[in-house]
Every structure is written in C-alpha cells, then in structure tokens.
Structure 1
Amino acid sequence: MVNYRYLGNSGLKVSEITYGNWVTHGSQVGDADAIATVHRALDLGITSFDTADVYANTAAETVLGKAIAGQRRESLEIFTKVYMPIGPKGPNDVGLSRKHIMEGINGSLKRLGTDYVELYQAHRYDYETPLEETMQAFADLVRQGKALYIGVSEWTAEQLREGHALAKDLGFQLISNQPQYSMLWRVIEGKVVPTSEELGISQIVWSPMAQGVLSGKYLPGRPVPAGSRATDEKFGASVIKRLLSDDVLAAVQKLKPVADEAGLTMPQLAIAWVLQNPNVAAALVGASRPEQLDETVKASGVTLDQGTMAAIDDAVGEVAVTDPEETYSASPKSRPVDRLRA
C-alpha cells in the first residue's frame, strides 16, 4: 500500500505515489482500460489523481470523472491545472487571465463531475497576465470553495517567492509546485527546492522515470522498442529525444546492478530516488494497464541508504542535467498556441 505525505505547509495529505493521466486517458488508452487502471490505483491505496484541462484537449478530465464516479468523494484528492490552450484555442482559451481561470475551473469541475478540486494549479507562469490578476482569481476560487488549495507547475524560484507573497496578502496559501524531476533532470535542486523549503511549498514531480528512459528498456546503439513513447510522434517522441543519446543510455544501464542490490526494479529505483528528497510530496506516475501499478507502488515507503544514493550518482551523475538556469525556460515568454505539455 501507499504512504502519504503532507502537501506543503498545509494539513492536506496526498498519496506519495500520485496517478497522473497525461498522454494516456482520452488518447492512448481506451476508456474501459483507463477506468480499470484508476480503480486498481484506488485498490492499491492511491487516493491522489492529477490531470489537466489540456490533456487530450479536455478528454482526460472527462475520463477521470467517469472513473471516480460513485467513489466516496471525501476519500480522494483531485488535482487539475489551467493555462495551456484548450477548446478551439481562441485568444482567451489560454493563459492565466481572470477570464480563463474562471472559465477553466467551471469546465474542469463539470468534466470531473465534482463541485471542487483539492488542488488547482497554474500549469505554467503567464508572462502576459499581471501576477496580481492571476492570484486574485485563485483567491476568489478558494473563497468560493471550488478549489481548496492552489499550486503551480514549473515556476522558477523567483516566481514562487512572488506568488507566495501575493497569496499570503490575499489570505490563502500557495502550497505546491509541479516540476519535472528525475535522476537525469535535477535542475530544481539548486534554487527551486531551497526556496520552496523556506516558503512551505512541496514538489509534486512529473516524469520521475525520465519518460521511461530510467526503466532501462532503451539500449545504447539499438533501435527504440516498437510501440514505446519514443516512437509516438504525437505523444512524447519530441520530449524523450534528448534523453536517447548513447552516453545517457549507457549510464542508465549502470543502474541495473544498483537496483538489483537494493532489491528493486529499475522503475521502482527511479521513483524511490525522487521520494528521498524531503521536499517532494508525491511522484506522478502513469499507467496504460492496471497491472503496471502493482509494481510501481512498491517504491512507496522505500528508504535508499547512502551507499545506494552514492552508487546512483556514480552511474548517472555525469549525464544528469543540473543547471538551475534550465528552470527559466519552462514557461514560454508568450502564450502558446498549441503545444503538448506535461
């Protein structure tokens, strides 16, 4: 079963393995399989579910809504996001304006079949909207009871600090950030994590397995496996491409004996590694079949000793991206027209 952690400086507990439905529900996986996988997650003790209005252009939220229908609502923690272009992708169908946030939450609640979400997240930072406008809209949603807590995704340390201060002035808390984080992508460690620890903000990390590369299934000098994410030009090939160099893949293969020694599979080792960071409240995982979660959840509650952590650094430390400046490129300087984002 899955362990639980507090989210930021709040009383809300979330399952440290959180189910995310990016690129699966409403696109790669049929509704019946998606619903069965969500139900398996619940059986395994996963109570936190992360989605976004942009996933499959709102269809992922609809599928998740169907999957949780009939469940005890109070026993779930539902997260969704706003910012990316949705619908017909008109000029106001994107961003963090008051208009888009208010329309966004109403659409998400309808699709999810609920009156509120535990966590509503700014999917990126919006350089084209005054931050005061964005935070005031979030404050109003909290007061209306439509969102119990507010979080963000891929914000820089400076953006977190400014957003946190405004939230405090407006009478609510900014409690979470959702960045990419894995053994191979450690850019949040330099600035984002220390700032978050100071402010009482947790990380909910996406791609802890580096788009599947840390599973070890991609081999140096070999073609990518048929049917893998690296072959899917619509859902993930462009994101994973930078991780498929032979030096990275060769380094990842060195993790196999480390995982064996720890009594873990390589995916379990990857997820357990991000959960060793005390600022990480949850690791987002996806699945296309229910049985995939049976092994994934075994990473919950695992403590990696210092020797194992050092062996991981020895294996992949030289190929890991650690530059904090990379956090400044996560949010586009102008609102995107249409792009796939986690």
Structure 2
Amino acid sequence: MEHRHLGRGGMLISEIAYGNWLTHGSQVEEDTATDCVHAALDAGITTFDTADVYADTRAESVLGRALKGERREGLEIFTKVYWPTGPGPNDRGLSRKHLMESIDNSLRRLQTEYVDLYQAHRFDRFTPLEETMEACADIVHAGKAHYIGVSEWTAAQIRHAHALARELRVPLVSSQPQYSMLWRVIEAEVVPACAELGIGQIVWSPIAQGVLTGKYQPGQPPPDGSRATDDKGGADVISRFLRDEVLERVQLLRPLAAEAGLTLAQLAVAWVLQNPNVSAAIVGASRPAQVGENAKASGVRLEPDLMARISEITAPVAVTDPVRTYEQTPAQRP
C-alpha cells in the first residue's frame, strides 16, 4: 500500500482509504463489518473514513469497536458533520453549537480522543461561514481534530473557507467529492482551485457504487443482493448510472482492464489515482475479500494511451458539468 500527502499538509494517508457509508450498521452485520476493517488493515490501509450521519450514527460506533486495540498513531481516522443526527432544530448544519456538540459525540462513538480529519459534509448556506470556521479552529486548537476538510463544496466555497482558515491558523487540507470515470464534475473548477490552494481530494465512489465492476449488465435486472436492490439507500444512489447506454460503455472497458492485468474495479480505482490532485480513493465493502481486491489498485500506473482510450469510451456517458457540484449545496436546512 502506497501513501500520499493529504494536500500540501504533512500527514500521509493510504492512497486507498476504507469507508463505511451504506454498509456498517446498515447493509452488513457487525461481525462482517469488523472483518472488512481487519481486511483493510491487513491490506496496509491505514485511513478510515466515516460520518456521524451514516446509519443514524451507528457506523461510527461500529468502526470504533472494529479499530479498538489498534495502535492509534498508526491510523488516520476521518469523520464528517452536517446532516441531521437528532430530532432537534440544532441537531444539523454547521452552527457552532452543532459542531462543538457533534465532535464530542463522534469521538465517544469512535472511542478516540481525536480524529485526524474533521470534515464539513456539505456547505451550510444558513450559517455564516465565519462562525463555522471559528468553531473548526477551536476544535483543532483543543486537540480534538488535527486537520479540517470539506465534502461536496464548490470551488468558490472552498476558496472562501481556505482564506478564513489561513487567518485562523487552522489547516484546511482536503475536499471529499464524488469522482469516477463516470462522474467527472470536479475536474473543471474544484480540482484547479484545490491544486492552487494545496488541498487534496479524498474521492468517494470511485467504482460508481459498483457499476464500474461490470456486474450490472445492459438489458438485465440487477443481481440479487446488489446495491441496486438495497432499499436502505443504496438503490437510490446508484440509479443514475443504471442506464443501458452507461452499462454498455462499462462492458467496453473489460479488454482494457485485462490489458492492464486488472479487474474492472481495480481499473476504476487506479484511474482516479492517476489524477495528481487525488490524495486517496475511498472504497467500501460488504465482504472482506472485496477490500483486498480493491487494495491491489494501489501503486498501479496507467499508461497515457490507456487513459486516453478509457476517456474515449466513457466520454459519451460521463457527467462533467460543474454545475452538478453547485447542486450539492442544500437549498433548505435538512
């Protein structure tokens, strides 16, 4: 497993990170979730990403128990805050009240004294950004987080936050957007801004929720037990890719993956890692074997000609419009 700097910060993270969205506390039993975490550790993965909202806070608890007994200094644990975690009007958003309470709750569930990265899960248009950044700075200065980051923020939002972070002497080092061969909306604006500011991407869904494994066939129903049949949220997320024109293009990638000596999933993960602004690709799993297989994408170098042929195949169906990032900012408080 190779490691990369998170942005221009000094911290190194495994270039493949393990994430437990849609799995821990939800899709898989805790024993299996724990086995997946241990498989990640066995593969050399040291970076683990979660969020307070995943599985109604259960995902953080499952991850905390799975990592108990591991050497804390050898891990990078990330979590996020924004979405509702309770019934009250202040149990959401990026207000100072919610951030200061949420970090303590996350640390309790994760069974750790600090997280390595604390991320704003969305931009909060209803809280002054100055208030949010001052609270983040206090969290860092209190030793409860080492670095801060954002998730699905626009380039303009990131620039504003970065300027405030510099004034407050707090390290804003990361952005966590969706990114894959099929979802390239960050390339036009977010990546150039982050490269300029020294912010690295920790990308989620590099396999497009499993579509880039090739298991979904055009003209055929989704396989039983797949994410597309999950009624706990997985089916909603993956539906945008389950069109025959997309699935047909994915099948055209098979000979390219074989040429590189990779599975389709490994090719997809390796592809996002070719972007120099990407610090890590987050992979999830419902079975331990999936973790080890995906981890084999670490260190893979794809030739420019192969990258060009991948783009030629996927270009007709890839989403590239940067406006899709703007759409990630909720219009109303959740």
Pair in the same fold by TM > 0.5: yes
Taking structure 2 as the reference length, what is the TM-score of the superposition? 0.99
Q: Deviations over 1:223-281 (max 9, x none)?
A: 11111111112221111111111111111110001101111000000000000000000
Separation in structure 2 between the aligned mates of residue 300 and residue 194 of structure 1, nearest angstrom = 24
Q: Does 1:5 align with 2:42?
A: no
Quick check: 1:126–1:334 contact (8 Å CA) kept in 2?
no
Match of 2:81?
82
Report the 3-state secondary structure (helix = DSSP H, G, I; strand = E; otherwise coil) of the residue aligned with 2:64: helix
Structure 2 counterparts to residues 46-85 of structure 1, below 5 A: 46-85=45-84
> What SS does structure 2 have at the residue aligned with 1:284?
strand
Contact 2:27 2:232 in 1 (8 A): no
Letter in 2 for 1:66: R
Gapped runs of 5+ residues in structure 2?
none
Distance in 2 between residues matched to 1:213 and 1:71, nearest whole Å: 33
Residue deviations 1:168-205 (CA, integer Å, cap 9, x gap): 00111210000000000000000000000000000000
Which residue does the alignment assign to 2:309?
311
The equivalent residue for 2:194 is 196
What amino acid is aligned across from residue 259 of structure 1 in structure 2?
A: A
- Residue 144 of structure 1 deviates from its aligned partner by 0.1
Amino acid across the alignment from 2:305: G
Kept after mapping to 1: 8 A contact 2:26/2:232: no
Partner of 1:21: 20
Distance 1:213 1:289 in 2: 17
Aligned to 1:340: none
Secondary structure of 2:324's partner? helix
- Residue identity in the other structure for 1:146: K
Q: Residue 159 of structure 2 aligns to which amino acid in structure 1?
A: R
Structure 2 SS opposite 1:299: coil
Is contact 1:78–1:118 with CA below 8 Å preserved after alignment? yes
Match of 1:239 in 2: 237
Between the aligned partners of 1:143 and 1:276, the Cα distance in structure 2 is 34
Alignment-derived partner of residue 180 in structure 2: 182
CA contact (8 A) 1:256 1:266 kept: yes
Looking at structure 1, the residues matched to 104 and 209 of structure 2 have their Cα atoms a distance apart, in angstroms, of 31
User: In structure 1, how many angstroms separate the alpha carbons of the residues matched to 2:24 and 2:179?
Assistant: 22
Number of aligned residue pairs: give it: 334
User: SS of the residue aligned with 1:212?
Assistant: helix
Whole-angstrom distance in 2 between the partners of 1:191 and 1:140 = 30
Q: Distance in 1 between matches of 2:27 and 2:43?
A: 23
- In structure 1, the residue matched to 2:214 is 216
| Within-5 A mapping of 1:36-55 | 36-55=35-54
Q: 1:284-334: CA deviations, max 9, x gaps?
A: 000112111121111000000011101101211111001111110012122
Find out whether 1:287 has 2:285 as its counterpart: yes
SS of 2:296's partner is helix
Amino acid at match of 1:53: D
Write out per-residue CA displacement over residues 211-231 of structure 1, whole angstroms, 9 at most, x where no aligned residue: 100000111111111111111
User: Kindly, what percent of the aligned residue pairs are identical?
Assistant: 66
Q: What are the superposed Cα offsets for residues 122-170 of structure 1, whole Å, 9 maximum, x if unpaired?
A: 0000000000000000000010000000000000000000000000001
Q: Secondary structure of 2:4's match?
A: strand
The root-mean-square deviation of aligned C-alpha atoms, in Å, is 0.7
What TM-score does the superposition give when structure 1 sets the normalisation length?
0.97
Counterpart pick for 2:272 among 265, 271, 274: 274
Gaps of 5+ in 1: 337-342
Q: Which residue in 1 is equivalent to 2:142?
A: 144
Partner of 1:162: 160
Matched, 1:33 2:23: no
